């Protein structure tokens, strides 16, 4: 063994210090890696049904709850049933005992209550009134943000809805006005306040808005990648990819790529998953029912009922559109095909979200899968 000189000792000590510093850097880097944002899981709950059974909500499996819906009356966000809504807000806030990080937002509009958006945000002064009324609700009930579900700016939604060309710019300026009000509330409360939106899940809508500009004010853009109807054709209403059984680009992958191309940061995009099904009664029997003409269609609520009571029961046989990556069931006797998501398709969609580095997933709506089959799959895949 060689004798250690003073010079050698200095070199040795320098090396040890270097290793300690390197270890510290590695430790810091590991900490940073663990702080990477986890995918969001946003669940819509239907306050319009009445009093919520919040004891059934598994708060630890959610990051956000969007309370649907607030109406618009005289240009202001409006509680349609203040007594019920206020009780629901109180009960939802109690869920934070189980999940302190849970965020609760009000969702304004929806399919049935979007007819007044265009008028409410037509001018700068009108937008100020609407923005202040929206934020006043979350301030009063100690909630965490505002979600806008305008179906749709610049194009028809439900019959009778008002829409106009000016919606394109006013859609953006509406978010600008709300964000300003939320910033004031943030300073007052010392708490982050969120602004999100639910948007059409098909690319044809994008020319009617300025999503690149609107996205600057938004925390998340929730893609309603379901109810993707194509005329009188029986379709996968929430296909992940394009089907080869009918000619349409209405699918989740096409939608996501279109929004990215339109300038929305991928890390703000949230993929929508339906917890319900859509049934189509065909004109004629068919070996492959997807892509055939139908005479009527209906909403099937929800996945728990489909799985427990219809799949391979009551004349229904399960099959998959392997191109679109989603299942369906078909009853030849009644010529009824039902399109929906199951555990396998949800797992694939969650993997898609992670591969794309999207923000996460959202679903409509919580009560549509009473046994939690699909939420459990989301939790397992995204954890």
d(CA 294, CA 282): 4
Q: What is the DSSP string of 266-289?
A: GGGEEEEEESSEEEEEESS--SS-
Show me where the domains of the chain are located: 37-275+341-382
Residue pair 201/195 in contact (Cβ under 8 Å)? The answer is no
Secondary structure of 211-255 as H, E, C letters: HHHHHHHCCEEEEECCCCCECCECCCCCCCCCCCCCCCCCCHHHH
For residue 162, give both structure tokens.
């008002």
Closest of 37, 57, 71, 36 to residue 104, by C-alpha = 57
Q: 161 phi and psi, to 5 degrees?
A: -65, 140
Residue pair 194/102 in contact (Cβ under 8 Å)? The answer is no
Closest of 134, 155, 130 to residue 143, by C-alpha = 134
37-275+341-382: CATH number: 3.20.20.80
Residue pair 103/144 in contact (Cβ under 8 Å)? The answer is yes
CB proximity list for 39: less than 8 A, separation 6 or greater: 350, 353, 354, 358, 359, 360, 361, 382
pLDDT tens digits, one per residue of 55-97: 999 999 999 999 999 999 999 999 999 999 999 999 999 999 9
d(CA 183, CA 204): 32
d(CA 60, CA 220): 20
Which parts of the chain have pLDDT scores under 50?
1-35
Using DSSP, how many helices (H) and how many strands (E) does the chain show? Answer: 10, 14
Helix (H) or strand (E) holding 86: helix 82-94
Closest of 247, 234, 245, 227 to residue 294, by C-alpha = 234
Residue pair 381/292 in contact (Cβ under 8 Å)? The answer is no
Residue 31 CB neighbours (<10 A): 9
What's the pLDDT score for residue 6? 40
Task: Provide the 3-class DSSP secondary structure of residue 316.
Answer: strand
CB proximity list for 294: less than 8 A, separation 6 or greater: 232, 233, 234, 280, 281, 282, 283
Q: Is the peptide bond before 195 cis (omega within 30 degrees of 0)?
A: no
Per-residue buried b or exposed e for 227-254, using 16+ beta carbons within 10 Å of the residue's own CB: bbebeebbbbbbbbbbbebbebebbbbb
d(CA 186, CA 201): 31
What's the pLDDT score for residue 36? 61
């Amino acid at each position: 063994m060689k004798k250690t000189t003073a010079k050698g000792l200095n070199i040795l000590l320098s090396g040890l210090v270097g290793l300690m510093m390197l270890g510290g850097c590695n430790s810091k880097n590991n900490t940073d890696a663990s702080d990477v944002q986890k995918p969001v899981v946003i669940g819509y709950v239907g306050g319009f049904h009445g009093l919520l059974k919040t004891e059934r909500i598994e708060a630890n499996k959610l990051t956000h709850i969007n309370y649907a819906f607030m109406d618009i009356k005289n240009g202001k966000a409006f509680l349609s049933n203040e007594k019920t809504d206020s009780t629901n807000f109180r009960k939802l806030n109690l869920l934070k005992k189980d999940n302190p990080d849970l965020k609760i937002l009000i969702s304004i509009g929806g399919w049935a209550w979007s007819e007044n958006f265009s008028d409410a945000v037509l001018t700068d002064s009108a937008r100020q009134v609407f923005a202040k009324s929206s934020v006043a609700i979350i301030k009063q009930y100690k909630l965490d943000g505002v979600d806008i579900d305008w179906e749709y700016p610049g194009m028809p939604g439900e019959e009778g809805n008002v829409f106009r060309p000016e919606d394109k710019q006013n859609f953006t300026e509406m978010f600008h006005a709300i964000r300003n009000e939320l910033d004031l509330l943030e300073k007052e409360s010392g708490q982050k306040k969120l602004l999100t939106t639910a948007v059409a899940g098909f690319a044809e809508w994008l020319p009617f808005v300025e999503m690149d500009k609107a996205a600057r004010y938004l925390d998340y853009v929730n893609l309603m990648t379901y109810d993707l109807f194509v005329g009188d054709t029986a379709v996968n209403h929430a296909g992940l990819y394009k089907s080869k059984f009918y000619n349409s680009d209405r699918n989740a992958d096409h939608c996501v790529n279109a929004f990215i191309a339109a300038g929305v940061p991928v890390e703000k995009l949230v993929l929508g998953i339906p917890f319900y099904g859509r049934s189509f009664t065909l004109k004629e029997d068919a070996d492959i029912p997807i892509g055939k003409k139908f005479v009527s269609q209906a909403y099937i609520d929800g996945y728990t009922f489909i799985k427990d009571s219809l799949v391979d029961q009551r004349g229904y046989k399960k099959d998959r559109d392997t191109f679109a990556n989603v299942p369906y069931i078909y009853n030849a006797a009644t010529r009824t095909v039902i399109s929906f998501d199951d555990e396998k398709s949800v797992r694939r969609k969650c993997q898609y979200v992670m591969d794309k580095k999207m923000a996460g997933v959202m679903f409509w709506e919580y009560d549509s899968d009473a046994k939690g089959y699909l939420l459990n799959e989301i939790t397992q895949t995204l954890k």
